Amino acid sequence: MRKTLSLALAATAVAAAAMSGASAAATPDSATATPDSLKWGPCPQKAGSQKSGSQKAGPQNAKSQTTAAPRLECATLDVPLDYRAPEGRQIEIAVSRLASKDPSKRRGVLLTNPGGPGGSGLDYPALLAGAGLPKDVLDSYDVIGFDPRGVGRSTPVTCDLTPRQQARGNFPPYAHTAADVAKEAPYARTIAEQCATSRTAWMLPHTTTANTARDMDRIRAALGARKASYLGASYGSYLGAVYTTLFPGRSDRIVLDSNMGPGGYDVSNFRLLGRGMEDRFPDFAAHAAAHPEYGLGTTPKQVTAKFFELAKRLDAQPVGGIDGTLFRGVTFDRLYVDGLMPELAAEWQALDKGKPLPSPPPISENLLASHFYVTCGDSRWPGTVRDYQRNAAIDRLKYPKLGGSTGSIKPCAYWPDSRVEPPVRIGDRGPSNVLMVQNERDPGTPLVGAMKLRRAFGDRATMVTADQGGHGVYPFGRNMCANDSVTAFLADGQRPPKDLACAAKPNK
């Protein structure tokens, strides 16, 4: 019954500074090799069938790829497994293109990523078009999607997860005590060992955000573009930040939506999900209180009390497989989108009456595996149970709704020490060509993390904040001040001269 709770989801850094300690081969901004041109053809019938977080945050009602963008084309590109040995073993990257309808207005290519890590992006150009990506942007670019290395139609990775392990998802059970953390540790170790001994373990050291960024530059070169613009959300914000850090001279207009901190999906960022839940929950509490027919309380304080009451009750006696951890997770998941609040209220009602919820669709094994490969491969996580016992104890107090899970132990604690390079360091060196856009009350990529990235960028970036909740701003959000700022930048190169705060959209 477990849903994948991914960040990036709809959720989730940048500069021209080279990676600390990286060799010249690992910073290929000066590379001269050009991949073969892409050969376009029909896309797979179910291109990008995996669900990623930021897609939830946007086009719930967007048309499918076949109806929204029948012009979507697909191709594959061979790239090096290890960029330190570019002539060595190759893997495939699946790429899609939604070509501009107006060659006279076309100014370049717009690479996109919907989030993850682990989410497919092959059909994302079609989803963006179906969700209302403005005509000025669609005319200005060939919109490019791709499945990152390890994902979907690209050379995929696996951890040989069982259906039961897939059902567990990527959130640890809520840790009420230090003993709960210790109890979860053997499971986390088992997942790490399975990933490290799976039939795709040869990809383990090379399935990283930095290498995905290098793959993006290979895509740019294969498209014959001197520079690439970019639109990425949630984890895609970090991917875009890494790309423009490694390739500042090849970065055109970079838009980062729903931003992670400059460390990407590291242990600090995972713990911030507890903060995101606290930031966003008052919006639901106010909504539920305004609808007494839900029976969840007539004031936000009463709705909040109902949350803790239900969580405690379900911890003691689950309903239809939904325990307190899953209840917290389902609530967090639905808070990504304003339109899902009535659905969330109905789920609370059902659980309050002891009625089970419908079973969600199964989670893709590849989505979870690639999530683990990237999050655990990008950065080192604390390696002792005591570290996570301390984190969970702190976060239960600071973020009581979710902190017992987000502070607890994950497979990254036991990841093999096979990293071939340090994380990319995001800084303020490079062209001033980054536009960050961010909701103030984002559960998946909280504002506090986005502000850290903004400070890391310095003069490279301008940031637009929107007084609204949810995960994902452009083009799915209702705040036209924020949306218009992004459109003006992508279509005309007009970026706000300084950071801009967009007021809430008036209620009609």
The tally of CA atoms less than 13 A away on the side-chain side of residue 230 is 38
pLDDT in tens, 437-492: 999 999 999 999 999 999 999 999 999 999 999 999 999 989 999 999 999 999 99
> 398-435 burial string, b = 16+ CB within 10 Å, else e?
ebebbbbbbbbbbbbbbbeeebbbebbbbbbebeebbb
Give the pLDDT score at 35.
55
pLDDT, mean of residues 358-380: 93
| Cβ atoms of 109 and 229 closer than 8 Å | yes
pLDDT in tens, 95-107: 999 999 999 999 9
φ, ψ for residue 251 (rounded to 5)? -95, 130
Give the pLDDT score at 20.
28
| Tokens of residue 143, six digits | 């919109």
23-27, 133-137, 311-315, 427-431: lowest mean pLDDT where? 23-27
The answer, yes or no, to whether residue 55 has pLDDT greater than 60, is no
The tally of CA atoms less than 13 A away on the side-chain side of residue 486 is 30
pLDDT in tens, 416-452: 988 889 999 999 999 999 999 999 999 999 999 999 9
Give the pLDDT score at 34.
57
- Nearest by Cα to 358 from 384, 406, 319: 319
| Tokens of residue 307, six digits | 């949350």
- Record the pTM: 0.91
What CATH number is attached to the domain comprising 253? 3.40.50.1820
Question: Higher model confidence: residue 221 or residue 29?
Answer: 221
Q: With respect to residue 293, please indicate whether it lies within any of the assigned structural domains.
A: no
pLDDT, mean of residues 149-157: 98
> Mean pLDDT for the chain?
89
The answer, yes or no, to whether residue 31 has pLDDT greater than 70, is no
Q: With respect to residue 306, please indicate whether it lies within any of the assigned structural domains.
A: no
pLDDT, mean of residues 282-293: 97
- Nearest by Cα to 259 from 427, 447, 110: 447
Q: How far apart are CA 162 and CA 96, in angstroms?
A: 31
pLDDT, mean of residues 108-137: 96
Q: Which residues contact residue 153 at a Cβ distance below 8 angstroms, ignoring those fewer than 6 apart?
A: 44, 47, 48, 74, 76, 94, 120, 122, 147
Q: With respect to residue 111, please indicate whether it lies within any of the assigned structural domains.
A: yes
Q: Kindly report the three-state secondary structure assignment for every residue of 237-285.
A: HHHHHHHHHHCHHHEEEEEEECCCCCCCCCHHHHHHHHHHHHHHHHHHH
DSSP string, 191-231: HHHHHHHSTTGGGGGG-SHHHHHHHHHHHHHHTT-SSEEEE
Q: Kindly report the three-state secondary structure assignment for every residue of 373-434.
A: HHHHHHCCCCCCHHHHHHHHHHHHHHCCCCHHHHCCCCHHHHCCCCCCCCCCCCCCCCCCCE
- For the chain, the 3-state helix, strand and coil shares in percent, each to the nearest 5, are 45, 15, 45
The answer, yes or no, to whether residue 28 has pLDDT greater than 60, is no
pLDDT in tens, 310-360: 999 999 999 999 999 999 999 999 999 999 999 999 999 999 999 999 888
Question: What's the N-to-C CA distance of the chain in angstroms?
Answer: 38
Q: With respect to residue 87, please indicate whether it lies within any of the assigned structural domains.
A: yes
Number of independent structural domains in the chain: 1
Give the pLDDT score at 362.
79
Give the pLDDT score at 16.
25
| Cβ atoms of 34 and 361 closer than 8 Å | no
The answer, yes or no, to whether residue 256 has pLDDT greater than 50, is yes
DSSP 363: P
| Cβ atoms of 157 and 370 closer than 8 Å | yes
Q: Which residues contact residue 28 at a Cβ distance below 8 angstroms, ignoring those fewer than 6 apart?
A: 83, 214, 217, 246, 247
* Confidence at 507, pLDDT banded by 50, 70, 90: low
Give the pLDDT score at 322.
94
pLDDT in tens, 231-254: 999 999 999 999 999 999 999 999
Q: With respect to residue 174, please indicate whether it lies within any of the assigned structural domains.
A: yes
Q: With respect to residue 137, please indicate whether it lies within any of the assigned structural domains.
A: yes
What is the maximal distance between C-alpha atoms in the chain? 65
Residue 178 is part of which domain span?
1-280+315-508
Q: How far apart are CA 167 and CA 321, in angstroms?
A: 11
φ, ψ for residue 234 (rounded to 5)? 60, -125
Give the pLDDT score at 423.
92
Q: With respect to residue 287, please indicate whether it lies within any of the assigned structural domains.
A: no
| Whole-number percent of the chain with pLDDT over 90 | 82
Q: With respect to residue 300, please indicate whether it lies within any of the assigned structural domains.
A: no
Q: How far apart are CA 271 and CA 395, in angstroms?
A: 8
Q: How far apart are CA 44 and CA 48, in angstroms?
A: 8
pLDDT, mean of residues 72-90: 97
